[in-house]
């Protein structure tokens, strides 16, 4: 599912009107009719008992509101329009539809002052459905005055709220409320999903997202060269390859996991477990020799190899010749979880990242080793995937964590460009970016994943998918989505906290079923 910025959507609208000669009046009519049909389908009982209150602001979003009000009124429902803008604010298509609504004598209350809003507060409490068409995708300033009052009254109402295109007050490009914002039950967006619907707090304000087709030509969308997608269940199912009936363990690849150290055997075990649950045919875990017996006891199905260790119980650079032999005939490497920060270990990690001739996913301590040395990663001859959380991303970019979080998409794209690696910026709505600037926003996951070991499982899943022959881009997207999807299904059973990373891994086989 493609996701656009406000600027991109405006460009697509202009292309539709100016190049493809589809009048804006038709687009507005299609939008309003589509939303009114959705409202009648979903809320017929509420419309029968309380009618609709349509909140109308300036601009084309308000114009959509006039069309919605007209269609509901002509369908026989009681409709009241609450006009929060002066007639002078309406132009062209919006003005035409305002006059059409007036000709039909649809009840219209103009509220241009705060006191006027208070006088109609009962409408918010008694209307069957509230339609939010106050602001559209062009809003960039903080919502204040009567507009903020109307939004707060709508949010306090027991009635369902349907937002037109985007919840009023929600920033279209960031998903952050501009002071205050509508909390919609349903958002009916026009033609394409907007970034604000899926980023940051956007999903909480957007509610159920429905895309309304308004007649935008596919050629206009193609011309916009959109480079961002929402990776969802449909995306996952389209990418997941078949599992041949005649396949054997060699068919599905061999993942080498390099992880763990004294006191951090859990990270290594979880990474290996993630790789096994991803469907990799074979998994070998390379770890310091002193913890190899512990990990062999934890991992019945994986092979373990003890490697020369430093005095701190971490993998030593003396292990490099043996690691090179281990990597031979493997299809992928997963490196970093719990591997340690000993100087000798970090040197070994950098050597592996630079030289390994197979696809490699790096996480945790391996990312610390890389630091800002992006050239080391970009020089690798095989695909690389980096999976930082925001703090690790800040160290990789040499900036603050808050700077990363201000624009997560830009941060992921920047690191992907300089390292020539696929980047997975973890967090709520994980961002996946490839070196060409293409970005995916993950749709799965929940707050229960904020617990130890979840990142280790993800590293293993991605490593296992790489071994099965998926490209770095596909392995990262599938891995992130399935990781979150398994947690979502766990959360439905156990709630949004208290389930374990190992349980998420063990849930994965349910997702691979066709």
- DSSP H helices, 43-170, are 44-50, 60-74, 92-103, 114-119, 121-126, 145-156
Angle at 224 between CA 222 and CA 226, to 5 degrees: 85
Q: What is the CATH number of the domain that holds 277?
A: 3.40.1190.20
Q: Are residues 85 and 206 in the same domain?
A: yes
Half-sphere exposure for 270 (CA within 13 Å, toward CB)? 25
In which residue are the tokens 């043996």 written? 322
Residue 315 located in a structural domain? yes
Span 230-246, average pLDDT:
89
Q: Are residues 172 and 247 in the same domain?
A: no
Q: Are residues 212 and 245 in the same domain?
A: no
Q: Which among 198, 226, 254 is the end of a domain?
A: 226
pLDDT of residue 391 exceeding 90: yes
Q: For residue 282, list its beta bridge partners.
A: 254
CB proximity list for 406: less than 8 A, separation 6 or greater: none
Helix axis angle for 454-467 and 472-494, nearest 10°, is 140
Span 95-113, average pLDDT:
93
Q: Are residues 245 and 220 in the same domain?
A: no
Phi–psi pair at 261, nearest 5 degrees? -165, 180
Q: Report percent pLDDT > 70 for the chain.
A: 100
H or E stretch including 218?
helix 218-223
Residue 165 located in a structural domain? yes
pLDDT tens digit sequence for 340-384: 999 999 999 999 999 999 999 999 999 999 999 999 999 999 999
Residue 514 located in a structural domain? no
State both tokens at 279: 């469907």
CB proximity list for 43: less than 8 A, separation 6 or greater: 128, 129, 160, 162
pLDDT band with cut points at 50, 70 and 90 for residue 183: very high
pLDDT of residue 64 exceeding 80: yes
pLDDT band with cut points at 50, 70 and 90 for residue 251: confident
Look up the pTM and report it. 0.90
Task: Provide DSSP, 262-327.
Answer: TT-HHHHHHHHHHHHHTT-SEEEEEEETTTHHHHHHH-SSSEEEEE-B-TTSSB-GGGHHHHHHHH
In the predicted model, what is the mean pLDDT of the chain?
94
In which residue are the tokens 């006027």 written? 116
* CA-CA-CA-CA torsion sign (470, 474, 479, 481): negative
Best CA proximity match to 175, nearest among 156, 200, 151, 157: 200
Characterize 331-343 residue by residue with b for buried, 16 or more Cβ atoms within 10 angstroms of its Cβ, and e for exposed. bbbbbbbbbbebe
Q: Which among 226, 244, 273 is the end of a domain?
A: 226
In which residue are the tokens 């156990």 written? 494
Task: Return the pLDDT at 55.
Answer: 97
pLDDT tens digit sequence for 188-233: 999 999 999 999 899 999 999 999 999 999 999 999 989 999 999 9
**E strand residue ranges, 314-365:** 332-335, 360-362
CA distances (Å), origin 352, targets 344, 389, 417: 13, 22, 21
pLDDT band with cut points at 50, 70 and 90 for residue 121: confident
Q: Are residues 278 and 134 in the same domain?
A: no
Q: Are residues 199 and 307 in the same domain?
A: no
pLDDT band with cut points at 50, 70 and 90 for residue 303: very high
Kind of pairing between the strands at 360-362 and 384-386: parallel
pLDDT of residue 277 exceeding 80: yes
Rounded Cα distance, 277 and 275, in Å: 6
CA distances (Å), origin 37, targets 30, 96, 173, 226: 10, 21, 27, 29
If one counts every other C-beta atom within 10 angstroms of the C-beta of residue 37, the result is: 16
Q: Are residues 240 and 165 in the same domain?
A: no
Task: Return the pLDDT at 508.
Answer: 95
Best CA proximity match to 428, nearest among 450, 403, 399: 450
Task: Return the pLDDT at 514.
Answer: 60
Q: What is the CATH number of the domain that holds 164?
A: 3.40.50.10260
Q: Are residues 208 and 308 in the same domain?
A: no
pLDDT of residue 117 exceeding 90: no
Three-state SS at 33: helix
Task: Return the pLDDT at 310.
Answer: 96
Task: Return the pLDDT at 14.
Answer: 93
In which residue are the tokens 């373990």 written? 304
The region of weakest confidence among 56-60, 68-72, 314-318, 504-508 is 56-60
pLDDT band with cut points at 50, 70 and 90 for residue 248: confident
Q: Are residues 364 and 444 in the same domain?
A: yes
Q: Are residues 209 and 325 in the same domain?
A: no
Three-state SS at 445: coil
- DSSP H helices, 420-500, are 454-467, 472-494
pLDDT tens digit sequence for 448-457: 999 999 999 9
What is the domain extent for residue 248? Answer: 236-509
- What's the domain count of the chain? 2
Task: Return the pLDDT at 300.
Answer: 92
317, 338 Cβ separation under 8 angstroms: no
Q: Which among 204, 226, 248 is the end of a domain?
A: 226
Q: Are residues 221 and 250 in the same domain?
A: no
Kind of pairing between the strands at 422-425 and 431-433: antiparallel
pLDDT of residue 86 exceeding 90: no
Q: Are residues 72 and 173 in the same domain?
A: yes
455, 389 Cβ separation under 8 angstroms: yes
424, 461 Cβ separation under 8 angstroms: no
Residue 36 located in a structural domain? yes
Rounded Cα distance, 413 and 423, in Å: 8
């Amino acid at each position: 599912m493609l996701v656009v910025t406000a600027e991109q959507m405006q460009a697509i609208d202009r292309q539709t009107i100016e190049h493809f000669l589809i009048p804006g009046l038709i687009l507005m009519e299609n939008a309003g009719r589509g939303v009114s049909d959705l409202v009648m389908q979903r809320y017929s009982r509420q419309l029968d008992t309380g009618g609709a209150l349509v909140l109308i602001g300036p601009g084309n979003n308000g114009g959509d509101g006039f069309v919605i009000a007209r269609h509901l009124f002509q369908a026989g429902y009681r409709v009241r329009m609450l006009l929060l803008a002066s007639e002078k604010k309406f132009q062209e298509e919006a003005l035409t539809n305002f006059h059409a609504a007036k000709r039909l004598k649809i009840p219209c209350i103009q509220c241009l002052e705060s006191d006027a809003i208070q006088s109609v507060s009962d409408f918010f409490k008694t209307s069957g459905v509230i339609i939010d068409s106050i602001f559209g995708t062009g809003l960039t300033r903080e919502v204040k005055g009567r507009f903020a009052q109307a939004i707060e009254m709508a949010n306090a109402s027991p009635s369902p709220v349907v937002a037109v295109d985007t919840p009023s007050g929600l920033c279209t490009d960031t998903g952050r409320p501009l002071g205050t914002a509508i909390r919609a039950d349903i958002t009916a967006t026009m033609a394409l999903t907007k970034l604000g619907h899926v980023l940051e707090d956007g999903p909480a304000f957007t509610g159920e997202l429905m895309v309304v087709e308004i007649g935008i030509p596919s050629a206009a969308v193609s011309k916009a060269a959109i480079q961002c997608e929402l990776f969802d269940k449909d995306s996952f199912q389209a990418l997941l390859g078949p599992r041949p009936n005649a396949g054997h363990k060699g068919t599905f690849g061999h993942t080498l996991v390099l992880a763990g150290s004294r006191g951090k055997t859990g990270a290594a075990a979880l990474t290996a477990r993630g790789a096994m649950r991803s469907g990799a045919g074979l998994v070998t875990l390379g770890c310091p020799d002193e913890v190899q017996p512990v990990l062999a006891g934890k991992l019945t199905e994986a092979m373990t190899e003890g490697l020369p260790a430093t005095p701190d119980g971490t993998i030593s650079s003396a292990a490099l010749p043996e690691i090179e032999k281990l990597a031979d005939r493997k299809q992928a490497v997963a490196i970093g979880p719990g591997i340690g920060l000993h100087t000798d270990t970090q040197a070994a990690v950098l050597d592996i990242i630079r030289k390994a001739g197979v696809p490699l996913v790096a996480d945790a301590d391996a990312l610390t080793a890389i630091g800002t040395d992006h050239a080391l990663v970009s020089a690798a001859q095989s695909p690389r995937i980096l999976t930082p959380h925001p703090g690790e991303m800040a160290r990789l970019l040499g900036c603050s964590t808050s700077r990363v979080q201000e624009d997560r998409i830009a941060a992921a794209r920047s690191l992907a460009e300089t390292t020539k690696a696929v980047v997975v910026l973890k967090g709520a709505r994980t961002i996946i970016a490839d070196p060409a600037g293409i970005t995916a926003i993950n749709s799965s996951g929940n707050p229960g994943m904020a617990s130890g070991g979840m990142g280790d499982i993800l590293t293993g899943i991605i490593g296992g998918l790489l071994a099965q022959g998926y490209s770095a881009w596909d392995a990262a997207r599938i891995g992130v989505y399935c990781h979150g999807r398994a947690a979502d299904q766990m959360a439905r059973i156990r709630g949004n906290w208290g389930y374990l990373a190992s349980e998420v891994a063990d849930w994965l086989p349910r997702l691979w079923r066709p």
